[in-house]
Structure formats: C-alpha cells, structure tokens
C-alpha cells in the first residue's frame, strides 16, 4: 500500500486534506480571517459527525442524542474553568471520562432496544442532559457560561491564538479519521458491521453482539466529547442549547449528506453543511426552506451522499480503463 492515491475520490480527499492543512496561511493571504473561524467550527463538528458515523453508519445504531456528548465535553471545560481550573489535561480527562461513563450507562439501556425505540430512547437521554444543564443555575442555566481562557497545555501544544487552536482541531480530526479507519477494518469493526446487517446471524456465529455494540457506542461518545471540548474552547461560551435534540438531528443530516459508512463522508458532509448554511443564510432569511428542500432531494435521489457520487467517478474510470 503506497501513499499515492489510486482513485478519483482518493485524489479529492488528499487534495482536501492538503487544503485544510494549509488553510490558516491560505486565509491569511486572502485576508479573510473569518473563514478560519468558519472552518474551525466546521472541523469541530466534523469530529462529532465522524464519531456519530461509527455507530450510525457502520453500526446501524441511529442515535438522535449524540449532541449530548458535545455538551458534556464542553461543560467539562466550562465548569472547571468557572472554578479557575484551566489545566487542559484535566479538561481532557474529564471529557473522556464523563462521556464514557454516561455512554456506558445509557448505552447499556438503549441498546436493549432496536430501530425507532433506539432513536427515541437516545433522544430522551440527551434531553435529560439538556434539562440537567438547563437547571444548573450556578452555571448560568439557559444563559450559558462564558469561558474566559482556553484549556492550558504545555507551550509547544498551546491552544492560544486562532491558528494554534485550528491545528489542534485539524490534528484531532485527522486522528479521528485514522482511528475510525483502523477500527472498522479490524476484527472489532467486522463484528460491528456484521451486526448492522444481520445480528441474529452474528450471534449464531458466537459473537455477543450486545457487548460489541455497547463498546462501539462508548468509543463513539468519547470521541464526540473531544469535539465538545474543542467547541467550548473555540466558542468561549457554552449553553444547554448545544445539546438540544435539533442539534443531534443536524449531526445525522451531516452524516447522510457526506455518505454513511464511509471514512471521509462525515468530513465532507459536515463541511458541505456548514458552507451551505453560511452561504444560504447570507442570501436570504428563508434559507431554512431552501436548505430543507435540498436535504429532502438529497435523501430521495442522492443515495450514498457526496462520497457516493465521488465513488461513482471511480467506477466510471475503471470502466474506461
């Protein structure tokens, strides 16, 4: 396996990653610092969407409560910061620990259900988190909480400054892609994918599918909490609004736009979503309507999302060869 891309889609992804890697310099040269803000937010969401794709795309577990883990990650920065605890490692450990534990408990219950019930129960748990944070007067309740400084890390990996934070986000996003790529092609991933299509068969083959699906759910949640931790730092502000179920719905849309069960799908889906949202809202206040119609069209006609279209190019080229 060489490092040279072998298909149209692979070339596209390689080019995209190259552009993302150079983005801060590119935007500086264009004198458009706002774009870096937009891209930072997009890549943070991409991490959340990549994590959601692991359970939704590969595992067939449609969670309508994934935004809860963004919220948990963000509050694991915000609440310590409220007490002047800015140690980044503490924030990181809290985000991973709390989200992992919460996912273990709620996943253990949710994964006893299937289909629509799973969707509803994951949504119920995330609404629970939403209302808990909403009721925490000490931490601003529905007004939210301002974070005055970023998580503190050693000098060489500091988050301070827009460019440094951007590279934090970019590198964590890259690591997420890499992690998922390893995971789904390893034994663990095969069991997850097999269980999505035919769970009784997997059990008949000797796999306790419940345990594997639960582990998958926990991994996904912990990864998503990293997005929350970054979002808290990026926005400098957290509120229960981050957790509402509508947010979770958006994450699902981003997965579908990009293409479920593909490595790069979530990344391009999220970027497309964020860019469209920004572009359309600049044109008209009724952008939600246009956006909605586009999404419906995509779901009806564009099976496989953007990744699916790119893969069609690959196939065409193979036929021509």
- Coil, strand or helix at 304: coil
Does position 2 interact with another protein (CB under 8 A)? The reply is: no
Please select the residue that binds another protein; options are 29, 187, 282, 300, rule is CB under 8 A.
Answer: 187
- Give whichever of 130 and 212 is closer to another protein, judged by the CB atom: 212
232, 77 Cβ separation under 8 angstroms: yes
Does position 183 interact with another protein (CB under 8 A)? The reply is: yes
List the interface residues with another protein, window 204-223 (CB under 8 A): 204-209, 212, 215
* CB atoms near residue 91 (< 10 Å): 26
Stretch that binds another protein, among 108-116, 185-193, 228-236, 266-274 (CB under 8 A): 185-193
- Kindly give, in sequence order, each residue whose CB lies less than 8 Å from that of residue 285, ignoring residues fewer than 6 positions away: none
The least distance separating another protein from the CB of residue 200, rounded to whole angstroms, comes to 7
- Give whichever of 91 and 307 is closer to another protein, judged by the CB atom: 307
- Give whichever of 50 and 231 is closer to another protein, judged by the CB atom: 50
The DSSP bridge partners found for residue 152 are 87
Please select the residue that binds another protein; options are 6, 112, 182, 315, rule is CB under 8 A.
Answer: 182
Does position 185 interact with another protein (CB under 8 A)? The reply is: yes
Cα separation, 66 vs 224, in Å, equals 8
Q: Give, as one character, the DSSP assignment of residue 114.
A: -
Helix (H) or strand (E) holding 145: strand 145-146
The least distance separating another protein from the CB of residue 198, rounded to whole angstroms, comes to 5
Does position 114 interact with another protein (CB under 8 A)? The reply is: no
Cα separation, 215 vs 219, in Å, equals 6
Cα separation, 109 vs 111, in Å, equals 6
- Burial of residue 206 (CB within 10 Å: 0-12, 13-18, 19+) is exposed
Does position 198 interact with another protein (CB under 8 A)? The reply is: yes
Please select the residue that binds another protein; options are 154, 155, 200, 300, rule is CB under 8 A.
Answer: 200
Does position 122 interact with another protein (CB under 8 A)? The reply is: no
Label each residue of 32-82 as H, E or C: CHHHHHHHHHHHHHHHHHHHHHHHHHHCCCCCCCCHHHHHHHHHHHHHHHH
- Give whichever of 46 and 180 is closer to another protein, judged by the CB atom: 180
Stretch that binds another protein, among 61-69, 115-123, 127-135, 177-185 (CB under 8 A): 177-185
- Give whichever of 104 and 120 is closer to another protein, judged by the CB atom: 104
Q: Give, as one character, the DSSP assignment of residue 206.
A: T
The least distance separating another protein from the CB of residue 96, rounded to whole angstroms, comes to 16
Would strands 237-238 and 145-146 be described as parallel, antiparallel, or unpaired? antiparallel
Does position 320 interact with another protein (CB under 8 A)? The reply is: no
The least distance separating another protein from the CB of residue 237, rounded to whole angstroms, comes to 35
In the complex, which residues of this chain contact another protein (CB under 8 A)? 182-183, 185-191, 193-194, 197-198, 200-209, 212, 215
């Amino acid at each position: 396996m060489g490092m040279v891309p072998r298909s149209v889609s692979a070339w596209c992804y390689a080019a995209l990653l190259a552009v993302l890697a150079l983005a801060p310099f590119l935007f500086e040269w264009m004198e458009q610092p706002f774009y870096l803000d937009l891209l930072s937010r997009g890549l943070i969401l991409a991490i959340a969407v990549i994590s959601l794709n692991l359970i939704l795309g590969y595992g067939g577990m449609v969670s309508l409560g994934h935004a809860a883990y963004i919220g948990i990650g963000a509050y694991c920065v915000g609440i310590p910061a409220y007490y002047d605890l800015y140690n980044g490692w503490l924030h990181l450990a809290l985000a991973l620990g709390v989200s992992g534990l919460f996912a273990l408990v709620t996943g253990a219950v949710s994964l006893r259900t299937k289909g629509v019930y799973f969707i509803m129960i994951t949504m119920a748990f995330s609404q629970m988190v939403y209302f808990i944070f909403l009721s925490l007067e000490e931490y601003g309740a529905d007004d939210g909480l301002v974070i005055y400084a970023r998580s503190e890390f050693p000098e060489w990996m500091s988050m301070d400054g827009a460019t440094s934070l951007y590279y934090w986000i970019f590198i964590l996003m890259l690591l997420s892609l890499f992690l998922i790529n390893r995971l789904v092609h390893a034994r663990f991933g095969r069991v997850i994918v097999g269980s999505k299509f035919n769970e009784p068969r997997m059990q008949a083959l000797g796999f306790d599918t419940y345990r594997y699906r639960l582990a998958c759910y926990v991994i996904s949640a912990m990864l998503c909490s990293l997005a929350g931790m970054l979002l808290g730092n990026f926005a400098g502000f957290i509120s229960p609004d981050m957790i509402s179920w509508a947010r979770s719905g958006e994450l699902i849309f981003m997965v579908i736009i990009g293409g479920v069960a593909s490595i790069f799908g979530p990344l391009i889906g999220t970027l497309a979503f964020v860019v469209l949202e920004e572009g359309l809202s600049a044109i008209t206040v009724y952008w939600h309507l246009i956006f909605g119609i586009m999404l419906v069209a995509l779901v009806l006609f564009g099976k496989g999302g953007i990744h699916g279209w790119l893969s069609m190019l690959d196939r065409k080229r193979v036929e021509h060869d």
